[in-house]
Amino acid sequence: MSITSKEIKELRQKTSAGFMDCKKALEEHNGDFEKAVEYLRKKGLAKAAKRADRVASEGVIELYNHGDGRVGVMVEVNCETDFVSRSEAFREFAHEIALQIAALSPLYITEEDIPEDLLAKESEIAKELALQEGKPENIVDRIVDGRVDKFKDEVVLLRQAYIRDDKLSIQEYMNQTIVAIGENLIIRRFSRWALGEKSN
């Protein structure tokens, strides 16, 4: 099957994968765009996982303010080399993460950062709600798990849906960027302020 350069370009824009990887993915999946996207995402995840243990101590502190200075964000994003830290792709990623934080107000970077007592409290609340709603005892645990997962999706940056493409999580967006730039990335820390809010 003949794959056009337009199809390859579209796939590159969607996945940030290299030209040859996109061509191969489309050829292997007979031009099926969605299957090629899925294939490249899985491949990207594997590549990102291989790079996860590499030291990332270079990077940038990205500052962003929104709504005429009503919301401010400061986020530290790290990569492995000074060369990559100056690249447009890396700077764009750091900026997008700052935008994400400004828009969706995450509280934690990873789910491991959530205090155990907070998760226990959320589970307790979810269980009480399920019982008050008259849900059968045998499915309450599944309902609790679902509600706690939803809570994590809201408060954990890497689990949030990317504001520019809600089919991607921030973790998936980061994996794509890792593959595109060829280095490990770490979102080290962030702070978000909104005018009139009390600080924690």
Q: Is 162 helix (H, G, I), strand (E, B) or coil?
A: strand
Give me 37's structure tokens. Answer: 């996207």
Cα 107 to Cα 118: distance, rounded to the nearest angstrom: 12
Residue-wise over 108-134: b if at least 16 C-beta within 10 A, else e? Answer: bbebeebeeeeeeebbeebbeebeeee
Q: Which residue has the tokens 């820390």?
A: 189
Architecture of domain 5-51: Orthogonal Bundle (1.10)
pLDDT by residue for the chain (200 residues), tens digit each?
A: 678 878 888 877 776 666 777 888 888 888 888 888 888 777 665 555 555 565 567 899 999 998 888 999 999 999 988 899 999 999 999 999 999 999 999 999 999 999 999 999 999 998 888 888 888 888 888 888 899 999 999 999 999 999 999 999 999 999 989 888 888 899 999 999 998 877 55
Indicate the CATH number for domain 58-110+156-194: 3.30.479.20
5-51 against 58-110+156-194: fold identical = no
With tokens 């059968």, the residue in question is: 136
115-154 CATH: 1.10.286
Length of the chain: 200
Do residues 37 and 17 make contact, with C-beta atoms less than 8 angstroms apart?
no
Only one residue has tokens 């954990």, namely: 156
C-alpha triplet 199, 188, 84: angle, nearest 5°: 135
DSSP annotation of 2: P
Q: Where are the domains of the chain?
A: 5-51, 58-110+156-194, 115-154
Tell me the pLDDT tens digit for each residue of 44-84: 655 555 555 655 678 999 999 988 889 999 999 999 888 99
Dist CA 59 CA 108 (whole Å): 20
